[in-house]
């Protein structure tokens, strides 16, 4: 039986600078389902609003490809391993988790909606109905909306309204930013976690989670594009004035670099990963032709090593990273956000650590670029503060109230007010 995914939709009613943090109460868990690793962290929120880790666990990903579940049994075993380690350390049993959204070809869409008010004051029910209509349209195309964020409202002919409640008008217009994914992929994800006795409590866009982990406050307000160069895919999120304006994903990541090296050097996958980590990069010098590496060959005895110049490694790595960044540039150009929004690029993710990637990104994207590591979190070892854990720690930040709009609206609950009644309405909409 597939696990149904409960996806709340949120609405801002205050400008970013006046947002209040609305952290989860009690102990909560986050689960980062990636193509190369699966990580689980259990935490609580301290009185100062910062998360404190109680337990953690991670393992190599199995049954995952490009952020999607491709083998339920293998993925379940990997999730169980990571969760069990975190639960044992925290001495706490999880029933649900905050999970990242990487599956189902997630993408951003902008919808412009009109709602008839008829000369009365706009109510919260009207706003719920507008959001419900936006999600309904997405669902008709086989997409499930994970984030639905109003970017602005129009009262009759007056645009630029942040909060239209209690305002009188004939027609309410809304511009919605929807982040959606394939409904079938989300149900496969839910089925995987159901097999581990876990419920998906919330889904958070993976690149947005990475943005919460690495951006400083000024970048969130002035605008920045976060590019998370993961193992199975590279994703991006554009944040401006505290809002998530755009997300996109390209199906190329660090795994493709490893695969290119394994093929080009005729070496096992494990050795290709080691070579990428120790010697990978995009900037070459004259010394690279003389710097010889000893590389094991596929099918040969361990003593049979080929001698290749490091320049050969760089010549394999560079084209793949150039292609990845060119795809990111194309996604940004297609978004049509304008050069002033997200003009600063923040690189994170494991693949961003190769030598020269920052300079290559600045040249290909023609933007100012910096490398970023996640902000420190209490209770985690240093190894878990690397760029490869940006999404994981961003999920923690979300659980602690970071990035959340002030008012959460479950669009399935246009009429209901109680928690159980909201669930019944939500279920009725999807079954």
CATH number, domain with residue 339: 3.30.420.40
* Cα dihedral across residues 122, 123, 128, 129: positive or negative: negative
> In the predicted model, is pLDDT for residue 412 greater than 70?
no
> In the predicted model, is pLDDT for residue 353 greater than 60?
yes
The CATH number linked to 136 is 3.30.1490.110
| Orientation of helix 310-335 relative to helix 357-365, angle to 10° | 40
Residues 256 and 366 in one domain: yes
Question: Interior CA angle at 364 toward 110 and 219, to 5°?
Answer: 55
19: confidence class by pLDDT, cuts 50, 70, 90: very low
Neighbour tally for 97: CB within 10 Å = 27
Q: Is residue 144 part of a domain?
A: yes
**Rounded mean pLDDT of the chain?**
85
> In the predicted model, is pLDDT for residue 288 greater than 70?
yes
Residues 135 and 259 in one domain: no
Q: What pLDDT sits at residue 137?
A: 81
Residues 156 and 231 in one domain: no
Q: What pLDDT sits at residue 15?
A: 37
Instruction: State pLDDT tens for residues 116-164.
Output: 999 999 998 898 888 888 888 877 777 788 888 888 899 998 888 888 9
Dist CA 62 CA 76 (whole Å): 9
Residues 169 and 232 in one domain: no
Q: What pLDDT sits at residue 405?
A: 62
Mean pLDDT of 287-294: 88
Q: What pLDDT sits at residue 21?
A: 54
Q: Is residue 226 part of a domain?
A: yes
Tally of domains in the chain: 2
Question: Interior CA angle at 418 toward 414 and 424, to 5°?
Answer: 65
Determine which of 2-11, 83-92, 125-134 has the lowest per-residue pLDDT on average.
Answer: 2-11
Q: Is residue 339 part of a domain?
A: yes
Q: Is residue 399 part of a domain?
A: no
Residues 165 and 259 in one domain: no
CA nearest to 82, candidates 35, 27, 37: 37
> In the predicted model, is pLDDT for residue 411 greater than 70?
no
Residues 366 and 232 in one domain: yes
DSSP 4: P
Residues 169 and 245 in one domain: no
Q: Where are the beta strands (DSSP E) in 315-404?
A: 344-348, 368-371
Residues 253 and 364 in one domain: yes
Neighbour tally for 129: CB within 10 Å = 16
Dist CA 121 CA 131 (whole Å): 18
260: confidence class by pLDDT, cuts 50, 70, 90: very high
Q: What pLDDT sits at residue 392?
A: 95
Residues 122 and 253 in one domain: no
Instruction: State pLDDT tens for residues 392-408.
Output: 999 999 999 888 764 45
DSSP 72: H
- Residues, the chain: 431
Q: What pLDDT sits at residue 134?
A: 83
Q: Is residue 390 part of a domain?
A: no
Dihedral angle of Cα 316, 321, 327, 329, to the nearest 10 degrees: -140
Instruction: State pLDDT tens for residues 167-213.
Output: 999 999 988 888 888 888 888 999 999 999 999 998 999 999 999 99
- Residue 165: domain span: 107-181
Instruction: Say if residues 255 and 231 touch (Cβ distance below 8 Å).
Output: yes
Instruction: Say if residues 103 and 68 touch (Cβ distance below 8 Å).
Output: yes
Q: Is residue 337 part of a domain?
A: yes
Q: What pLDDT sits at residue 97?
A: 95
Q: Is residue 355 part of a domain?
A: yes
> In the predicted model, is pLDDT for residue 429 greater than 50?
no
Q: What pLDDT sits at residue 408?
A: 52
Q: What pLDDT sits at residue 43?
A: 96
Residues 144 and 235 in one domain: no
Beta bridge pairs of residue 293: 308
Residues 338 and 279 in one domain: yes
Q: What pLDDT sits at residue 414?
A: 34
Dist CA 207 CA 205 (whole Å): 6
Q: What pLDDT sits at residue 17?
A: 37
> Which of the listed residues 371, 386, 421 is the one where a domain comes to its end?
371
> In the predicted model, is pLDDT for residue 24 greater than 90?
no
Q: What pLDDT sits at residue 23?
A: 67
Q: Is residue 130 part of a domain?
A: yes
Neighbour tally for 96: CB within 10 Å = 16
Residues 220 and 336 in one domain: yes
What are the CA-CA distances from residue 218 to residues 63, 274, 305, 417 (Å)? 39, 37, 51, 37
């Amino acid at each position: 039986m597939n696990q149904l995914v409960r996806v709340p939709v949120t609405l801002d009613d205050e400008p970013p600078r006046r947002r209040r943090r609305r952290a989860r109460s009690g102990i909560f868990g986050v689960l980062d389902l990636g193509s190369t690793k699966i990580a689980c962290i259990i935490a609580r929120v301290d009185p100062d609003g910062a998360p404190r880790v109680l337990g953690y666990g991670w393992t190599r990903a199995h049954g995952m490809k490009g952020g999607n579940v491709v083998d339920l049994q293998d993925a379940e075993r990997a999730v169980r391993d990571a969760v069990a380690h975190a639960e044992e350390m925290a001495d706490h049993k999880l029933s649900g988790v905050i999970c990242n959204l990487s599956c189902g070809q997630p993408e951003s869409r902008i919808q412009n909606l009109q709602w008839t008010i008829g000369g009365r004051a706009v109510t919260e029910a009207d706003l719920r109905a507008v959001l419900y209509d936006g999600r309904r349209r997405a669902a008709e195309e086989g997409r499930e909306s994970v984030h639905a964020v109003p970017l602005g409202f129009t009262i009759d002919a007056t645009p630029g309204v942040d909060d239209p409640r209690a305002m009188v008008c004939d027609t309410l217009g809304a511009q919605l930013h929807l982040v959606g994914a394939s409904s079938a992929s989300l149900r496969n994800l839910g089925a995987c976690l159901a097999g581990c006795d876990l419920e998906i409590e919330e889904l958070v866009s993976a690149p947005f989670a990475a943005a919460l982990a690495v951006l400083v406050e000024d970048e969130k307000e002035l605008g920045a594009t976060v590019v998370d160069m993961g193992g199975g895919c590279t994703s991006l999120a554009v944040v401006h004035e505290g809002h998530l304006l755009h997300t996109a994903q390209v199906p190329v990541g660090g795994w493709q670099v490893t695969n290119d090296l394994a093929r080009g050097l005729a070496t096992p996958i494990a050795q290709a990963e080691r070579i990428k980590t120790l010697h990978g990069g995009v900037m070459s010098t004259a010394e690279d032709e003389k710097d010889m590496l000893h590389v094991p060959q596929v099918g040969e005895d361990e003593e049979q090593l080929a001698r290749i110049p490091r320049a050969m490694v760089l010549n394999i790595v560079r084209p793949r990273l150039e292609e990845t960044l060119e795809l990111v540039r194309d996604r940004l150009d297609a978004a049509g956000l304008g050069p002033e929004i997200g003009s600063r690029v923040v690189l994170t993710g494991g693949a961003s650590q190769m030598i020269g990637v920052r300079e290559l990104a600045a040249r290909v994207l023609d933007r100012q670029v910096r490398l970023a590591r996640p902000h420190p979190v209490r209770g985690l070892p240093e190894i878990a503060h690397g760029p490869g854990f940006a999404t994981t720690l961003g999920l923690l930040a979300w659980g602690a109230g970071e990035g959340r709009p002030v008012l959460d609206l479950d669009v399935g609950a246009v009429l209901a007010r109680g928690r159980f009644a909201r669930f019944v309405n939500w279920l009725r909409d999807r079954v």
